[in-house]
Amino acid sequence: MFKNRILRNVLIVIGVIIVLNILYLLFSGGISRRSSGKVNMNILAGGKVGVINIYGALYNSKQVCETLRKFRNDSSIKAIVLRIDSPGGGVAVCQEINREIYEAKKNNKILVASFGSIAASGGYYIGCATDTVFSNPGTLTGSIGVIISYFNFEELFKKIGLSQVVIKSGKFKDMASMSRKMTSEEEELLQGVIDNVYTQFVDTIVDNRSDKLKEIIKLKGIKEPTTEEIRASVTSIADGRIFSGKQALEYGLVDKMGTFEDAVLFAADAAGIKGDPALVYEKKKINFFELLSGSEETDSMLNKFFFKGMCYLYGE
């Protein structure tokens, strides 16, 4: 009877692990999402379009960058669609993904972004690097800007009699410490860094979307907009405000209204694929033990609470 009880407990544990794996795959996007309708999923169809899902807050670029490199070096994949449903994330993370998008362009891949429910801040930053941006009319986008936030437990520490001892090599080394308020000098220094990274965001939009922005400015009566006029049009709306997809189209931040399927068919046509395209997804190999031991997804969940860097992020 004792042996039977042990066996039963072992089977229960195994069953729980299997169920948790299934639930994780279902809710994390690990199982490829396939659209219904006109897009043919048959791998023997006219040509291949790679699809990369970019979901949730971004604090790790490894999976997306690796998939972009794989698709970039696959001669059978003629176009890549980025399905973005993200409020953004760490600045460097978004910039690393952008760099891989540029590298894919150098390999003559057609890059198209498809915005889902939200493609704000860093989500927009990534999308604007593609050749063409599709958005739903009700997509939440924009939120162009940079943010850094931290907790200040100074008053709480005083109440419980806790103090932090700091030995530092320079006066700015413990800037943004949770145990004290920042000085005005520290705030000024940090604001300068944020302003510089904000300029990088604006530069990226101007560099990638100048043609579309010129069209919008010309409608206002300016025949040949200069680079500075294009930049001014971006900075006038790049104050962290959000837009619907339809508003973003009016401002020149996106190119077309359309669904994921519209973006796929457009990418296939732009790549010269004849017939219905076959969609290629990069499969994630995630298991319960990897989740516990420190997978990319675990890193992202932990970073959401402990990340202390600058972010292109909406809703912080």
Domain segments of the chain: what residues?
37-313
Active site positions, annotated:
121, 173
pLDDT of 296 higher than 70: no
Lowest model confidence (mean pLDDT) among 38-52, 180-194, 222-236: 38-52
Lowest model confidence (mean pLDDT) among 20-34, 128-142, 176-190: 20-34
CA-to-CA dists, residue 10 to 17, 21, 218, angstroms: 11, 17, 70
What would the pLDDT profile of 197-216 be if each residue is shown by its tens digit? 999 999 999 999 999 999 99
pLDDT of 129 higher than 60: yes
State the burial class of residue 85 (Cβ atoms within 10 Å of its Cβ: 0-12, 13-18, 19+): middle
What would the pLDDT profile of 58-111 be if each residue is shown by its tens digit? 999 999 999 999 999 999 999 999 999 999 999 999 999 999 999 999 999 999
The domain made up of 37-313 has a fold known as 2-enoyl-CoA Hydratase; Chain A, domain 1 (3.90.226)
- Which residue type sits at 169? S
- Of 264, 263, 262, 246, the closest CA to residue 254 belongs to 246
CB neighbour burial string for 272-298, b if at least 16 within 10 angstroms, e if fewer: ebeebbbbbebebebebeebeeebbbe
- Of 77, 50, 79, the closest CA to residue 280 belongs to 50
What would the pLDDT profile of 30-68 be if each residue is shown by its tens digit? 333 343 334 444 443 458 999 999 999 999 999 999 999
